[in-house]
């Protein structure tokens, strides 16, 4: 089976795997913060905070930023909370451990997908605005773009789950 090589899927794949290299750390953080605001926070179970101060919105922001900046493993994210200034800023001195990050991703995978999709769609739009993306018509475009973004988002979450599984083998 061959895949159709449309301008959309060829360009969405051209986005760097680390969006902070494309957008800058501040630009990526701004998109992630905007994206998290679009998630229905009433779906979070309030009594299941991993630690005092580790609100679900902060964990969602942390995971969305890290997964779009090519940091996948929960242990790597835990390390970044203490060593990466942008990730430290997201945490605001409330550092979740790797088990809490893993549990949160598992419990709220569908909610984690939402800000990731938002960020990738916005990154593609920025690429388009810079004249680096082709656009032939809106009718077919939205569906193609959404399918490509959904595939990328699921792939990022699958890599995170694989990284956590590999880490538990040690």
- State the DSSP string of 43-104: GS-GGG-SSTT--HHHHHHHHHHHHHTT--SHHHHHHHHHH-HHHHHHHTT----HHHHHHH
pLDDT of residue 97: 93
pLDDT of residue 9: 47
pLDDT of residue 30: 97
7: in domain: no
pLDDT of residue 66: 97
pLDDT of residue 124: 86
5: in domain: no
State how far the Cα of 168 lies from the Cα of 165, in Å rounded to an integer. Answer: 5
77: in domain: yes
Contacts of 22 (CB under 8 A, 6+ apart): 15, 16, 123, 126, 127
112: in domain: yes
114: in domain: yes
2: in domain: no
10-residue stretch averages of pLDDT, the chain, 170 residues long: 44 78 94 95 67 81 97 96 95 91 92 95 81 54 83 93 72
pLDDT of residue 13: 64
pTM: 0.82
Q: How many domains does the chain have?
A: 1
pLDDT of residue 150: 92
pLDDT of residue 139: 55
The domain containing residue 149 runs over which residues? 13-167
CB 73 within 8 A of CB 167: yes
pLDDT of residue 7: 47
3: in domain: no
pLDDT of residue 41: 84
64: in domain: yes
């Amino acid at each position: 089976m061959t895949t159709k090589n449309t301008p959309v899927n060829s360009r969405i794949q051209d986005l760097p795997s680390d969006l902070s290299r494309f957008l800058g750390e501040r630009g990526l953080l701004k998109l992630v913060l905007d994206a998290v605001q679009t998630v229905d926070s009433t779906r979070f179970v309030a009594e299941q905070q991993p630690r005092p101060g580790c609100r679900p919105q902060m964990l969602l922001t942390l995971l969305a930023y890290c997964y779009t900046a090519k940091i996948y493993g929960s242990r790597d994210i835990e390390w970044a909370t203490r060593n990466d200034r942008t990730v430290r800023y997201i945490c605001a001195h409330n550092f979740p451990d790797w088990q809490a990050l893993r549990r949160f991703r598992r419990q709220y995978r569908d909610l984690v997908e939402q800000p990731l999709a938002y960020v990738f769609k916005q990154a593609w739009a920025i690429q388009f605005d810079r004249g680096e993306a082709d656009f032939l018509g809106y009718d077919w475009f939205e569906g193609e773009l959404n399918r490509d973004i959904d595939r990328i988002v699921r792939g990022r979450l699958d890599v995170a789950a694989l990284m956590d599984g590999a880490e538990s083998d040690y």
